[in-house]
Structure formats: C-alpha cells, structure tokens
A and B are shown apart, each in its own frame.
Chain A
Amino acid sequence: MIRIFDIASKDLLQLLRDRETFLFLLVMPIVFTLLFGFAFGAFSRSTTDPRLPVGFLDEDHSWLSHSLHDLLAASEVIRMQEDDFSTQASLETLVAGEKLAAAIIVPGAYGHAVLQGKPAKLILIGDSGATAGMSVESEALSAASRLDSAVRMAIIMEQVRGDQAPFDYTYQQALSAWQEPPIRVSETTSSAIKKQASGVQTLSHTSPGMMLQFAIAGLLTSAQILVTERRSRSLQRLLTTATSRLHILLGHFLAIFVLIFCQFLLLITFGQLALRVNYLQAPGATLLVAFCAALCIAALGLLIGSLAKSGEQAIIFSLVPMFVFSGLGGAWVPLEVTGVTFQAIGHVSPVAWAMDGFKNILLRGLGLESVLLPSAALAGYAALFFLLAARRFSTAEEK
C-alpha cells in the first residue's frame, strides 16, 4: 500500500521538475481566462445606460399625462428620450432607423378619458412582435394601468367618504402603494445574476472553463511520464519487484490527481481573489465539483498514458480530448446559448458536467445539492476511464 505513495511522490517529483507542467497547469489557464474575459468584455468599464431608448410625445399635457411620464421615466427597462420638436412622423422615422426601440404617444384626450372612466388610448410605435417592442409595450401598459387604477380608487373613495378621503390624497396614496405591490415574483434561481456585474458573470464562465481545459491539456506531461517509464523499461523493472500492477496504476493515478486538484485549488483561489468569481459562495459544493473533476481528468490521464506508445502519441492523445471535451462541454461558449440537441451531445463530455456544477454555484447561486448530479456523473466517468486504463495496463504484457 505504501508503495502507491512512493510511486506517486516519485511522479510528482518528476512532474514538478518539468517546466511544461507549470505552463499548462497554471500559466495558460490564467492567461486564457483573462484573454476570454477581455474578449467577452469582462474588464470593460462601460457607462452606457443599458435601458431601451423610447421616444415620448405628450399631446395631452394634462397632469395625468405628466404622471404617466414620471412613472415611465422611473422604469428600469426603458429610458425616455424627449425632444420638444418631436412629431409622430419624426418618432416613426427614429424607430424605423433603430435609433429608438419604440415610441409612446399620449393622445390629446388621454387625461380626460381616464378621469371620465372611459377607455384611454396610448399610441405605441414599434414592433410589438420583437423582444424590445414587447418590453416597451409591457412597461407602458403597466404604468398606464397603475395610473388608471389609482385614479379610479381616488374617485370611488371620494364618492364614498367625501371630504374624509379627498381625491388628491387618495390618488397619491394609491399610486405610491404600487411601489410595494401585494404580489411579487421572487427570483430564487437568478439572485446571483442580479447581484453580479456582467464582467463577473463572464469570468464565472471562463474561469472554470479554462481551468478544466488546461487540466486536460496538462495531461500530456503526466502521460509522458507513463510513456517514458514504459519505453525505458522502468515499468518492466517495477513489475519484477513485489509491487503489483494495481499499486503501480494507483500510484500514477494518485500523482496526477494530486497535481490537478492542487491546480484547481490554486486557480479557484486566484479566481476568487483576483477575478472576484464567487467560488466561495458554496465552498463545499465547489470542493466537491473540483474533487470529482480532478478524479475524472486524472483517470483520463492514466488512460492516455496507458494507450500512448510514444511521446508524440501522448501529446496527440491529450490535445484531442482537450479540444473535443472542452468544445463540446461548453468551456469556450456556454452550452445554454446552443440548441437542445447540441446541449444533449455536449453532455457526452465530462467537461459539460463539471461546467454544470461550477455554473450552478457561480451563476445560479445554488448550493451543494445542485452539484450532486454533476459530481456523480464525473465520478462515473472517472471510474470508466480508470477501468479502461486498468484493462489496457493488465493486458499489455511486458516482454
């Protein structure tokens, strides 16, 4: 049993003497995380207002149309663009030219109609079939409904209670009551998204993605050790000692696992401290995913090392799964932006499961329970790769 640790410590000594190890395990993932971060705008300090620009033309000029304007101006979805010289035609031109997402026109009799309890029309210029148009329409309807209900409430209360409930007072109370609506949708799955800046969101994807990708790339140095051992006949010599094949295999596996798990811990620390990626939001879950991903990649390394017959093959056998698993698994581009079919295919890659686990923590703000399935999948892959490596190792008769 102790020979397993002897073999692992010997392997680690060899690996740590190899500068390529540090290049692939630490330098490259940090560089590429930063590179992808820049590419996706994680580090840009944009002051642009993200709200939809919406033209507003008040033809009513009543106190109600002013109130409607104030409600819309306070929106988090639309940004009011006003020009004293606007006309319906000029607004139509601006919307058609995509200078505005949409435009709202308050017709002349709007205030009067509301007060009389008659249907009050608002004119919306825009494509109500497009996302932007629908958002503006929804925001305008919401504001108009609040205004209308406040007016009706004030009228009824004045009729019922007379001077005890003057119109102005009741209207203001009703309108301000909308600021704390009685029913509210609680967004439990996207609370993390709301809290994070968009740059951190980008890094929350690229940081684990690059970490996983270069952990696989780093297997080329680990696999080289196994190949060199076999080619120099040191493996053959090991087999002439009282060390069993299983112990030899476990020793090599342990070394690769320790190396990758340490790499994960260092990169997670770097991500947490330098990039503000919130791995510690659920530390237990983060550790579990990292542990299972390291198991899986270490077993893959063992398989590559047992399959490759030369150093060149070890490089190819490491780089091919790196590209395939990383590309399919969503390390470069989130699987969420791809179609259902691609997502299903992508989950053939263990990287997809590891990314699911990390993103459940980092982007969806979930805890330990959310990473159990991805971790189990990774452990399953680890077992599969290990068994294949063991089979190859035991059938490769050493002459």
Chain B
Amino acid sequence: MDAIEVQDLRKAFGDIQAVNGVSFNVSQGEIFSLLGPNGAGKTTTISMLCCLLRPDAGDALVMGHSIRKDPNGVKALLGVVPQDIALYEDLTARENLTFWGKMYGLRGAALKARVNEVLEVIGLSERANDRVSKFSGGMKRRVNIAVALLHKPKVIYMDEPTVGIDPQSRRNILDNVVELKNQGMTVLYTTHYMEEAQELSDHIAIMDHGEMIACGTHAELVRIVGQMDRITLTISILAADCDRERLLQAWSRVEGVQQVTAQEDGMIVLLADDSHRVLPPIFEAASTNGVRITGVDIQEPNLESVFLHLTGRALRD
C-alpha cells in the first residue's frame, strides 16, 4: 500500500486555481519532494493533505484514510512541519514540546521521556528551558521540526523547512530528514531549492501554476532533457591569423563532443557526454588555434534544466 495516494486534487481561491488536478503516489518509507517556484501550489496541496483545507474536488488517501471522509484518522497519522515557525515564542522549548505532545495525545511519563528524547535528537537539551524567543532562526527551525516528531508519526509533511536559515542549520535539517527516512517514516517534502530535492528525494514531482508538470526519480526527470552536459565557453583571440571556423571544427572533432554552437554574444556552447573528459582536449585545441579560454560554465543535466525545458522559465524566476 502506498503511504499517500493523491487523486485529482483541485482547489481554487476565488478566480485563482491554486491546485489544478494534481495526482501522485508516495510509497511508504520514501522521501517524496514537491518542487516548484513560490506560488506553484505546493503549500495548498500540503494544506489539503493535512486536512486544513477542504479540496474542491478530488481526494487523497493517507495510509488508507481519506482526507475527505476521515480527516481525524489522517491527522492522527501525521506530523506536520509548517513553513512558518509555528511555536509559542514566550514559552520555553520544553514547554512548547510538552504542549504539542499533549495535542498529539501524549501524556505523563511517556510524554516527558519523548520530549527529552526529541530535545536530544535536535541537540537542544542544554537550551531546553530557554524561551524560544531567545533562539536563533536555525534553532527555532529545529524545534519546529521536533514538534512534528513527538508522536512518532508514520507520515511527515515538511513544508519548506529550510527557508531563511544559515547553511549549518540547513545541513542539520537535511541530515535529520534522511534520518527520518532511515527510521521508516514517509516524508513529503516541499521545497523550491532544486539541490535539496535532488539530494534528498526518492521521487520528485515538479509543480507550476497549480499543476504537476513532471514526476519521477531524479534520473527519470533528467532524461526528459537528455543526458548531455552543457559547456559554455568564453574565449579571447590571441593570434592575428586565428580562424574561428577552424577552431569550432577542431572542437567538434573532439571525442565526446556532440554539438558546437557559436552564439551571437560570442560565447561557444558545446554539448558533450562527459564534460570532465572533453575539457582537456578542448583547451589543447584552443591553444593550438591561438585562442585563450577565459571562462567555462558547465551545466550538468539537473532539475533546473528540466524545469527550464518544461516551462521555458528558470526555477528561481
């Protein structure tokens, strides 16, 4: 059984169709990322999946429980890490975790033990009795995640949990997400950071304008745009008798180079099977023809290029 089965979910706010017929399945124990720019409909999708918003149409099953027919059954299985720091800043970390633990149905000694355990996991045992308002952004994010882990949920939703934090805290959070997967939890992760989706995910769904435009493993998605590396070269001509055409022909004869194109702005774009292998002979040919390469930009096939290929826009636009 899949952990999450989403079937044709739709949600509109007035005239704006925030989610338009989204369907996907998430297997148990995997990390599934929803990738897309801001406003793509990721948070609305998550909000429907955690029963905060009622879909206009469609349904989703979370561990077999329908978000329409059995929202309480769904909520009992879920841990939700919202995009915002959804904590009470005038309470301490321990008080926050204790309160949220109670909201998830934990009581007494079990609650106390679990709070201590989770504080240990996020590395904040020493600061447990400090008010959250005194914490750094990264520490708050860690407590924010810890809340969702208290009741050991089967499925955890994480809505852009790394927004606005320092690299060290981000690394810590990403490691925690992988650890959750290792513990057998199913993680539904939304992000607009391509690198995060690429690093963490077993499967990725790319969303744009409320629709899912692609879904699969990283390799499957990359295959959409082909497997070649894109090498962009900036050159300066040293020799007076340099023949530009002859240089381009020399580069096209390099083994592994599939295509050479001179752009109007003077830069040369090469499509190659393996950029690391073709670059030395390209430099050599340039030198032989009296040309100096002053800039190299290598673009390996990635989600950014997939998004660009599918929408005509960069992911961060």
Interface residues of A (CB under 8 A from B): 2-3, 6, 10, 13-14, 17-18, 228-229, 232-234, 236-243, 397-399
Q: Do A233 and B102 have beta carbons less than 8 Å apart?
A: no
The dominant DSSP class at the A interface is: helix
- Rounded to whole angstroms, the CA-CA distance of A13 and B96 in the bound complex is 11
Determine the distance from Cα of A331 to Cα of B49 in the docked complex, in whole angstroms: 51
Residue from B43, B44, B50, B88 within 8 A of A14 (CB atoms): B88
Whether B99 and A10, one on each chain, are in contact in the complex, defined by CB atoms closer than 8 angstroms, is yes
Which B residues are in CB contact (< 8 Å) with A6?
Answer: 99, 102-103
Q: Are A13 and B95 CB-contacts (below 8 A) given A232-B89, A237-B80, A237-B147?
A: yes
* Alpha-carbon gap, A234 to B95, bound state (A): 14
Number of A-B contacts (CB under 8 A): 70
* B91 contacts A240, C-beta separation under 8 Å: no
- Considering the chains assembled together, what is the distance between the CA atoms of A54 and B44 in angstroms? 86
Contacts of A2 in B (CB 8 A): 102
Nearest CB in chain A: distance from B63 CB, A: 15
Contact with B90, one of A17, A236, A243 (Cβ below 8 angstroms)? A17
In angstroms, how far is the closest chain B Cβ from the Cβ of A288? 33
In the complex, the answer to whether B103 meets A234 with C-beta atoms within 8 Å is no
B121 at the interface (CB under 8 A from A): no
Give the distance in Å from the alpha carbon of A255 to the alpha carbon of B137 in the complex. 30
Give the distance to chain B from A9, nearest Cβ to Cβ, in Å: 9
Quick one: which of A3, A17, A229, A399 contacts B102, CB cutoff 8 A? A3
CB distance A233 to B90 under 8 Å?
Answer: no
Our pick among B43, B75, B90, B102 for the contact of A240 (Cβ within 8 Å) is: B75
In the bound assembly, the distance between CA atoms of A6 and B89 in angstroms comes to 17
Shortest A225–chain B CB gap in Å is 9
Assembled-state Cα–Cα distance A89/B147 (Å)? 93
Other 4 A-B pairs with CB < 8 A, given A6-B102, A10-B91, A13-B91:
A237-B86, A237-B100, A238-B103, A242-B75
Report the minimum CB–CB distance from B115 to chain A (whole Å): 14
Instruction: Determine if B85 is an interface residue (Cβ-Cβ < 8 Å).
Output: yes
The A-contacting residues of B in range 36-83, CB under 8 angstroms, are 43-44, 47, 50-53, 72, 75-76, 78, 80, 82-83
Asked whether, in the complex, the Cβ of B103 is within 8 Å of the Cβ of A241, the reply is yes
Residues of A within 8 A of B281 (CB): none
Bound CA–CA A17/B133 (angstroms): 13
Tell me the chain B residues, 151-185 only, with Cβ under 8 Å from chain A. none
User: Which residue among B78, B88, B89, B104 has the maximum number of chain A CB atoms within 10 Å of its CB?
Assistant: B88
Residues of chain A lying within 8 A (CB to CB) of residue B50 = 240
What is the bound-complex CA distance between A228 and B87, given in angstroms? 10
Contact (Cβ within 8 A) A233 B86: yes
Inter-chain contacts of A243 with B (CB < 8 A): 103
Closest chain B CB from A350 CB (angstroms): 30
Judge if B105 is at the interface, Cβ distance under 8 Å: yes
Say yes or no: A3 contacts B53, CB within 8 Å. Answer: no
When the two chains form their complex, are residues B84 and A397 in contact, meaning their CB atoms are under 8 A apart?
no
